[in-house]
Chains A and B, each alone.
Chain A
Amino acid sequence: MSKLLMIDDDPVVTKVYQNLFRLHGFDTEVAADGAQGLALVQRFRPDVVLLDLGMPLMSGVQWLNRIRADERFRDLPVVVLTAGTIGWQVSAARNSDVTYILSKEDADPAKVLDAVRAALASGGRKLELMDAD
């Protein structure tokens, strides 16, 4: 069973995604902020991370920079899930070796599952996947 860590401060978003991944056989943990995410990534040792960018206290980009500085997590696949109009954050996330970037507005269950499964298979490499449409 693949282990997924979701880091997002929005309870509605985490409830929806946690249910989706539970239904599809993932062992899922949720962190409500970056600090919790840092603790959980060490304790839970996820195979893939689903990361929000626009969080208070520690942004997703700051979280990524912290995690990439740790050799143990340099190649951990990270899928960014963002409500995405903060352009500099998206650009910064790309520069921190995220595997994939998804928009919350455009996401549907199949797309999200495809992205996470592809990220798991990527070994942390950046992906250039095509939309089905």
Chain B
Amino acid sequence: MTREAATGEAANGETAQASATLDIGPAETPPIDLEHLRAWSNGDEQFVRELIDLYLEQTIGQLTLLRTAHAARSAADVEHVAHSCKGASGTFGAVRLAPLFFRLELAGREQRLDQAAPLIAEIEREFARLNSFLQQSLTAGSMMESQA
């Protein structure tokens, strides 16, 4: 498949891409793809630690914004923040969070705020699991070697 064709799915058939991307995998899936993180960091432990701190801090702030947007019944803000979280989570390698944020983005875009509350709750559970996983990995030693 050409890359043009791949992006064309987004341009011409959001539903097609959504169905391909919404698979969040089983709950026992590790919350982060460490191989992905290694590939992007080139094995730079210090960089990975800084990136983890930045991602956690940024996402905690964005979860607050999401709760505020949902409480204010602002579907547009829910969509916007979820879209941003999706990009950061995908780049970071948070393999279950990224598609959950995508679901929330779609719910916001389609004004389905009744579906946003359970999604936000699920996102918060998954984020807590990721946070715990990362803290344990950092405490245990090298992120570059854990689960290798």
Contacts and interface: CB of A to CB of B under 8 A. Distances in A.
B118 interface: no
Interface stretch (B7-15, B63-71, B131-139): B7-15
B74 interface: no
Contacts of A12: 51, 54-55, 58, 88, 91-92
Size band of the interface chain B makes with A: 35 or more
A87 interface: yes
Contacts of A115: 3
B95 to A, nearest CB: 10
A57 interface: no
Per DSSP, chain A at the interface is mixed
A124 to B, nearest CB: 16
Given A16-B91, A19-B40, A54-B83, A87 B3 contact: no
B10 A15 contact: no
Interface residues of A, number: 37
Contacts of A11: 54, 58
B21 interface: yes
A131 B40 contact: no
Residue among A9, A56, A84, A130 with the highest chain B CB neighbour number at 10 A:
A84
Contacts of B6: 103, 106, 131
A130 B2 contact: yes
A101 B7 contact: yes
A131 B14 CA distance: 21
9 contacts: A12-B55, A13-B87, A16-B92, A19-B40, A83-B90, A86-B83, A90-B7, A91-B11, A130-B3
Interface of B: 1-4, 6-7, 10-14, 17-18, 21, 36, 39-42, 44, 47, 50-51, 54-55, 58, 80, 83-84, 86-88, 90-92, 98, 102, 105-106
Given A20-B42, A87-B13, A131-B6, 11 more contacts: A10-B88, A12-B88, A12-B92, A83-B87, A85-B10, A87-B10, A87-B11, A90-B10, A94-B11, A105-B98, A129-B3
